[in-house]
């Protein structure tokens, strides 16, 4: 009989504890945001917790180790990935969660895999993990607009994704960085979907926007 989700979470948390303290604290802050969004969007909190604890298992590894681990895990490495190997930590973690920790929840694994760049088509849990990773408290302190994205996510996850992608585009241009082709493809699809008004919610009560977004 396979492990329960609770047992998988415990094993992943144990592995994470061997990582730098700053990374562990980041994951804890992400979990606060992810569980809040999960409650608002009716996503199983256990699945969200599983993906959150696992999403940054390999974030702290040096670039050379990211390339090596990707090869060992059978993760494809593009030229864009070679230029910025840290982007491989999500796909590596997803592969390790499947193989070493026996995680079989495909949506949770995809959420881990795609939390850095996004994907044109994402499940609700994947959107929750990506946004929570970007808007956790410490990052909001460094990038104030993330507070607004956090507020938006409580009412429209797709709008929040697009707002984050727009911020990322501007940030990359200001630093002279290239956009990863995978992220750019996702962003183009999010723009098309949002401006075709597919899946948008009804008007939100103005009073709800008075909630603290900081």
Task: List, as one string, the DSSP characters of the chain.
Answer: -PPPHHHHHHHHHHHHTTS-HHHHHHHHHHHHHHHHHHHHTT--HHHHHHHHHHTTTTTTS-HHHHHHHHHHHT----HHHHHSGGGGHHHHHHHHHHHTS----HHHHHHHHTTTT--SS--HHHHHHHHHHHHSHHHHHH-THHHHHHHHHTT-HHHHHHHHHHHHHHHHHHHTPPPPHHHHHHHHHHHHHHHTTTT---PPPGGGGGS---
Q: How far is CA 133 from CA 24, 30, 82, 156, 208, in A?
A: 13, 5, 23, 17, 23
Query: How many CB atoms sit inside 10 A of residue 111's CB?
Result: 32
Whether 108 shows a pLDDT value over 90: the answer reads yes
Residue 192 banded pLDDT, cuts 50, 70, 90: confident
Look at domain 5-202 and name its CATH class.
mainly alpha
More confident residue, 69 or 206: 69
Q: pTM for the full model?
A: 0.88
Work out the mean pLDDT of the chain and round it to a whole number: 91
Residue 10 banded pLDDT, cuts 50, 70, 90: very high
Residue 1 banded pLDDT, cuts 50, 70, 90: low
Residues 141-184 have pLDDT tens digits of: 999 999 999 999 999 999 999 999 999 999 999 999 888 999 98
User: Nearest to residue 90, comparing CAs of 57, 132, 123?
Assistant: 57
Residues 33-71 have pLDDT tens digits of: 999 999 999 999 999 999 999 999 999 999 999 999 999
**Residue-level pLDDT at 156:** 94
| Mean of pLDDT values over 107-135 | 97
């Amino acid at each position: 009989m396979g492990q329960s989700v609770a047992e998988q979470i415990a094993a992943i948390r144990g592995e994470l504890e061997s990582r730098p303290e700053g990374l562990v604290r980041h994951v804890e802050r992400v979990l606060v945001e992810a569980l809040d969004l999960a409650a608002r969007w009716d996503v199983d909190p256990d699945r969200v917790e599983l993906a959150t604890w696992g999403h940054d298992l390999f974030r702290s590894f040096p670039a050379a180790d990211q390339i090596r681990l990707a090869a060992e895990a059978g993760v494809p490495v593009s030229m864009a990935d070679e230029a910025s190997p840290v982007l491989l930590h999500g796909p590596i973690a997803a592969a390790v969660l499947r193989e070493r920790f026996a995680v079989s929840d495909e949506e949770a694994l995809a959420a881990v895999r795609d939390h850095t760049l996004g994907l044109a088509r994402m499940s609700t849990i994947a959107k929750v993990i990506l946004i929570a990773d970007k808007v956790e408290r410490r990052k909001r302190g460094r990038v104030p607009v993330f507070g607004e994205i956090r507020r938006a996510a409580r009412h429209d996850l797709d709008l929040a994704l697009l707002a984050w992608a727009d911020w990322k585009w501007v940030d990359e241009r200001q630093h002279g960085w290239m956009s990863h082709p995978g992220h750019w493809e996702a962003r183009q699809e999010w723009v098309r979907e949002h401006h075709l008004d597919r899946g948008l919610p009804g008007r939100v009560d103005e009073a709800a926007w008075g909630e603290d977004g900081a």
